[in-house]
Structure 1
Amino acid sequence: MILLSQEAIIAEEKLTQYLLVSLPKDDKSKFLAQAGYTLENWQQLEKDLRTQVLTQPAKFIEKNRYGEKYLIRASLRGVNGVELNILSIWMVTDSTTRFVTLVPSKGVDA
């Protein structure tokens, strides 16, 4: 296991147009809303991913044409104090680390 760069790229669009908006399939906005994350405070989610998630060890999953994929299992304490257990996915290349997505952790090791 390794620690990934806290300077990772976390695209604003990934948060504001995917994770924090209601979607008909694979919706994560309701899950994140439990901890107080909304479109209005998306910057807080970005900050918390850096300070609460990227500080945890990352587990290598696989190498593909996009780079090396890593998983980080962590607790994310939201703006209202509620803790969410999450699995986050990150893609690492020679020059960058990039946030891919997060999902609720069901307690099963991935």
Structure 2
Amino acid sequence: MAKLSLHSVIPSAKLTNYLLIRLPKDDKSQFLDRGGYSIENWQQLDRDLRSQILPLEAELMENTRYGQKYMIKGSLTGPNGTILQVKTVWIVTPSETRFVKLVPD
């Protein structure tokens, strides 16, 4: 178990062009909408990932050619007070830690 950097990179496009828009396959927007997250308040999801998920213990999943992949499981309390159980994946390289994905747990 490890702790990842609170200054990890969370690409805004990952939130605005993937997680918070409806997709025909692997849609996460409806799940996140239950917590009150939407494209209009995407910055809140960024802040909540940093304050509620990143401080938790990260479990090493595997070493890849891109870096070490870690998973953090936790509770994400949305802006409307609803608690969402999530799994997040992060990649750690010598130069940065980067958000990869979020799925319901």
Does TM-score exceed 0.5, indicating one fold? yes
- C-alpha distance in structure 2 between counterparts of 1:26 and 1:103, whole Å: 9
Give the alignment of 1:92-107 within 5 angstroms: 92-105=92-105
CA RMSD of aligned residues (A): 0.3
Residue number in structure 2 paired with 1:69: 69
- Is the partner of 1:26 in helix, strand or coil? coil
Q: Please list the CA deviations of residues 7-33 of structure 1 after superposition, one character each: whole Å capped at 9, or x if unmatched.
A: 000000000000000000000000000
- For 1:20, the equivalent position in structure 2 comes to 20
Moved over 6 A (4+): none
**Counterpart residue type for residue 26 of structure 1:** D
SS state at 2:5 partner: coil
Residue ranges of structure 2 left out of the alignment (5+ in a row) = none
* TM, length-normalised to structure 1: 0.95
TM-score calculated relative to the size of structure 2 = 0.99
C-alpha distance in 1 between matches for 2:36 and 2:68:
31
Structure 1 portions without partners, runs of 5+: 106-110
Shift of 1:82: 0.1
Residues of 1 paired with 2:87 and 2:43: CA distance? 19
Counterpart of 1:43? Answer: 43
Distance 1:76 1:100 in 2: 17
User: Is the aligned partner of 1:86 residue 2:63?
Assistant: no
Q: Percent identity?
A: 54
Distance 1:95 1:58 in 2: 18
The CA distance in 1 between the partners of 2:75 and 2:15, in whole Å, is 18
How many residues end up aligned between the 2 structures? 105
Q: Using the TM superposition, give the Cα deviation of residue 95 of structure 1 relative to its aligned residue in structure 2, in angstroms.
A: 1.2
Q: Does 1:55 align with 2:93?
A: no
2:29 aligns with: 29
